Amino acid sequence: MNTLLIIAGKELREATRNRWVVATTLLMAALALTLSFLGSVPTGTVGVGPVEVTIVSLSSLTIFLLPLIALLLSFDAVVGEIDRGTMTLLLSYPVARWQLLLGKFLGHAAVIALATVVGYGAAGVALAMGDTAIGPDSWRAFASMIGSSVMLGAAFTALGYLASTIVRDRGTAAGIAVAVWLCFVLLYDMALLGILASGSGLGVETLNWLLLANPADAYRLFNLTGFKGVSSFAGTAGLATHVQLSVPLLLAVMAGWIAAPLALAAALFSRKQI
């Protein structure tokens, strides 16, 4: 346990030094604040709370941005250390390989969590200081959005680790990271829409499974259909009644998307010739 914390702490400190933490936090805060101010403009007559508007727009943006940040942060994690020669050194220390991988992952996940919580939290503070009264349900939805965003970031960090462990070359790892982002975030939904639009008679059951097969979609469903106030505004109320995926299931799937790539990466890493 201690070893994990030492490695995670070092990773967090390096990211802080690299200004990764500062840059990501500022980016997230800037986007969140912009969206929350924009979102609070039209609410008066529509009758939807500013928090709900912010959640819809912010979670839609998060789907694109956070996986990209997570992959950029993590694709170098293993292959980069091997390249710099520090991997051989670290492995000659009393550290198990899985400890090294998990420790580094925890550090990177902490970077994502820090940036998300602080960045989006700033938007929450801005909303709280606004004129409109915000109910506890709205705040719960907002907190869930932040929490699930951290999970989304962690899932793509884990995928980045997998990419970093598979290959022997940094360039290839970067390429795989970009491909992962394109596939999961852009192409997957397009393909799914295409299939649905072509009227091939995809059953609800199949659609459910296909949505779960992508962490970004699980995140989207969780935030847009998980809370009543949000789903009625997001235009997903209809979808929510069709998609029979409960909140715990969605959370479990996202947790699985963190654990599975990481476990696979750890298994591959323990067999990797250094």
Partner 1 sequence: MTDFTAEVQGVTKRYGETAAVRGVDLTLAPGECVAMVGHNGAGKSSLIKLMLGLTTPTEGRIRVLGGDPASAACSPIRRRIGFLPENVAFHPSMTGRETLDFYARLKGASRRDNDALFATVGLEPAAIKRRVSIYSKGMRQRLALAQALLGGPKLLFLDEPTTGLDPALRQSFYAIVAELRDRGTTILLCSHALTELEGQADRVVVMNRGRKVADGSLATLRSLAQLPVRIRLTLPAGGIDTLAGRVGEGAALTRLAGGVVELACANDDKVALVRRIACDGPAIKDIEIVQPSLDEMYAHFLRREAAE
DSSP conformational letter for 202: -
User: Which one, 88 or 232, has the nearer CB to partner 1?
Assistant: 88
Could you tell me the smallest distance in angstroms from the CB atom of residue 89 to partner 1?
A: 5
Among 93, 129, 197, 248, indicate the residue that binds partner 1 (CB under 8 A): 93
Distance CA 28, CA 123 (A): 9
Among 18, 206, 232, 244, indicate the residue that binds partner 1 (CB under 8 A): 18
User: Which one, 89 or 204, has the nearer CB to partner 1?
Assistant: 89
* Radius of gyration, alpha carbons of the chain: 20
Measure Cα distances from 224 to 9, 52, 142 in Å. Answer: 34, 10, 11
208 near partner 1 (CB under 8 A): no
Distance CA 253, CA 139 (A): 23
Among 90, 178, 247, 263, indicate the residue that binds partner 1 (CB under 8 A): 90
Amino acid at 252: A
Specify burial of residue 68 (Cβ count, 10 A radius: 0-12, 13-18, 19+).
middle
User: Which one, 10 or 140, has the nearer CB to partner 1?
Assistant: 10
92 near partner 1 (CB under 8 A): yes
Indicate the angle between helix axes 136-166 and 247-271, nearest 10 degrees.
20
**Residues in 95-124 at the binding interface with partner 1, rule: CB under 8 A:** 95-96
Among 26, 27, 91, 167, indicate the residue that binds partner 1 (CB under 8 A): 91
Specify burial of residue 229 (Cβ count, 10 A radius: 0-12, 13-18, 19+).
middle
Task: Considering only the stretches 37-45, 89-97, 170-178, 185-193, report the one whose residues sit in contact with partner 1 under the rule CB under 8 A.
Answer: 89-97
- Residue 80, C-beta contacts closer than 8 angstroms, at least 6 positions apart: 164, 170
Classified as helix, coil or strand, 156 is helix
User: Which one, 14 or 137, has the nearer CB to partner 1?
Assistant: 14
User: Which one, 47 or 94, has the nearer CB to partner 1?
Assistant: 94
User: Which one, 84 or 242, has the nearer CB to partner 1?
Assistant: 84
63 token code pair:
């789907």
Helix extents (H) in the chain: 2-17, 20-40, 43-46, 50-74, 79-84, 86-91, 97-128, 136-166, 170-181, 188-197, 204-212, 215-225, 228-234, 237-242, 247-271
168 near partner 1 (CB under 8 A): no
Cα dihedral across residues 228, 152, 215, 100: positive or negative: negative
89 near partner 1 (CB under 8 A): yes
User: Which one, 12 or 55, has the nearer CB to partner 1?
Assistant: 12
Among 1, 41, 47, 94, indicate the residue that binds partner 1 (CB under 8 A): 94
Could you tell me the smallest distance in angstroms from the CB atom of residue 123 to partner 1?
A: 30
Among 14, 188, 195, 267, indicate the residue that binds partner 1 (CB under 8 A): 14
271 near partner 1 (CB under 8 A): no
**Residues in 59-88 at the binding interface with partner 1, rule: CB under 8 A:** 84-86, 88
Footprint on this chain of partner 1 (rule: CB under 8 A) = 3, 6-7, 10, 13-14, 17-18, 84-86, 88-96, 273-274
